[in-house]
A and B are shown apart, each in its own frame.
Chain A
């Protein structure tokens, strides 16, 4: 799609809806699948977010929603299946094999491709994580089908039961909707935190369909020598933060960025930044919010000295409450923030820090 949005769309009218005669060999393709990503005993939350979205698509189509779990026997795979049911899956396809201990492209591509060819889903969704993108690109090419990356919205076009996948294009200034009419499955990846987390239903369960991997270690060229875990203590965890205080170029000097840290400390918040701040090296790249950084969905996002350019906006507009501080009343961020303060961030930030500090102290006394 990328090349199309790029080569066709601007030049001439988008290709538009073509006659949708689905190839008869795809007529039997039914159901919505979500790949359940997990590493080192933890499932990636994007899997549950996708099940929430997948549930809506499956209901719309009147088909079943399945999770796909691949991993080692006796490990956590059954636990992930049970969890998938709670988040809305009707069934899980389970591939268990010792070869699936760590993620490697070859066995995972084979496992997922075989499952698709055997059980024939019409839609296959994966997280747009390093693992998900590596796997999705390989599986789509092997199956010779369409794959739409980094979608922000998924819907069903009931006219021909096709998946309409919407994604930002041209750096977020435009959106485009992409369909895969004559190939199955229709594949898409979605970034973490773009879809909201569905409710978890403790009482739900489902059935498990097992499938063999059919590979031996000598079939696989690539070997995992070692895994070096990130030191989670030092790494910013923006994607799952409940409160984020972010600063932009309006803070002018690196010293002023300390005001962002001060407020974050009082609130127990993570610190985020716009791209220019990261490019100037004031904070580490993991803190960049936006199209080429992290997508975040906190309960509270405080943006100081950030203009609200679309590339920043796409990464944070899903926040529940947005407070914007900007000295320009015409700044685009005021178009979508919940609350706005028109003023100098260097004065407002310390005032906010102090007000929150007092508020918290009062609550503590009262409690």
Chain B
């Protein structure tokens, strides 16, 4: 079985700061990490590989040359092959253009060995769109299984897969046929530790780096800014609220008095709250 896992290198947004004057992102020194949601997909792929010996896991990323680090990380966890798709032509791609480039690359990968399963993350922490996975599935005409919390069973002979999928108000148990594209829900598994041999392998692994031609891009106008229907027209800081909180304080400053003062204000100014609280208790 051949599994492709799409991973993206993202800035660790916990460490991103916005420049107070220019309102631009200060990325200097912000570490780049593997999109945390992608790790649930990678781990699931590795588990399937453990379950079906002889399987191959290929990790695929589109991004600047530095994204190589993310791919090596994936190798250290146990992925077999890694491909970085990188080309100036891809700069400024929105999700439609990204899914076009990644789908082309997966078609190239197929020529080497047919792909049975593609995994993508639920979403990225920088883009947060959850659109690239569904986009790739449509372009490759694969069945799409999003928000999967569990792979129940996989029958390679019959090419059938049964998964549990989160939906509003419950879990759907779905049966589908390979090839499928799966996005995993967060928290559904825990990434394994990198083993020593895999860490060594990752360090000297000869990464495949593909430009637009190697990635089989047929129509360059469908990539990058040109191939992106959506355009960022403006980036700005949220308007600070001008009215600050009314601070409740009392002379005694003891908690009981403060609480009573607050309640008096609350119930005179917001009579609906009094009714609301009265009705439920």
- A interface residues (Cβ-Cβ under 8 A, vs B): 1-10, 14-18, 37, 39-40, 42, 44, 102-106, 109, 129-131, 133-134, 136-138, 140-142, 144-150, 164, 169-171, 173-183, 221-230, 232, 242-243, 266-268, 285, 292, 299-300, 310, 320-324, 329, 333-343, 347-348, 350-352, 354-356, 359-360, 363-364, 367
Contact = CB atoms under 8 A, between A and B. Distances in A.
The 3 A-B pairs with the shortest beta carbon distances in the complex, nearest first, are A2-B127, A137-B134, A146-B229
Chain B: interface secondary structure?
A: mixed
B159 to A, nearest CB: 10
Interface range for B:
35 or more
B156 interface: no
Interface string B105-133: 00000000000000000001111111111
A157 B51 CA distance: 54
A141 B273 contact: no
A311 B213 CA distance: 40
Interface of B: 10, 13-14, 16-18, 23-25, 27, 91-99, 124-135, 137-139, 143-147, 162, 164, 166-177, 187, 225, 228-238, 240-241, 244-249, 253, 255-256, 258-260, 262-263, 265-267, 270, 272-274, 276-278, 280-281
A285 B188 CA distance: 13
B232 A14 contact: yes
Contacts of A104: 174
Nearest to B241: A336
Contact of A354 (B146, B171, B229, B256): B256
A88 B103 CA distance: 40
B273 A39 contact: no
B92 A3 contact: yes
Interface residues of chain A: helix, strand, loop or mixed (majority): mixed
Given A10-B27, A105-B144, A335-B244, A141 B134 contact: yes
B176 A222 contact: yes
A2 B124 contact: yes
Contacts of B95: 1-3, 137, 147
A340 to B, nearest CB: 4
A340 B233 contact: no
A105 B133 CA distance: 13
Given A39-B167, A130-B168, A359-B263, 5 more contacts: A7-B92, A170-B25, A222-B174, A230-B171, A342-B247
B245 A340 contact: yes
A223 B260 CA distance: 58
17 contacts: A5-B232, A5-B235, A6-B126, A8-B91, A9-B25, A14-B232, A39-B167, A39-B169, A137-B131, A140-B96, A150-B129, A176-B234, A177-B236, A223-B174, A225-B174, A334-B247, A335-B241
B233 A17 contact: yes
Contacts of B274: 363
Contact of A175 (B166, B236, B249): B236
Contacts of A8: 91-92, 225, 232
A287 to B, nearest CB: 14
Contacts of B267: 359
Nearest to A229: B170
B259 A39 contact: no
Nearest to A40: B169
Contacts of A183: 229
Given A173-B16, A341-B258, A15 B92 contact: yes
B174 A224 contact: yes
B223 to A, nearest CB: 11
Contacts of B281: 266-268, 360
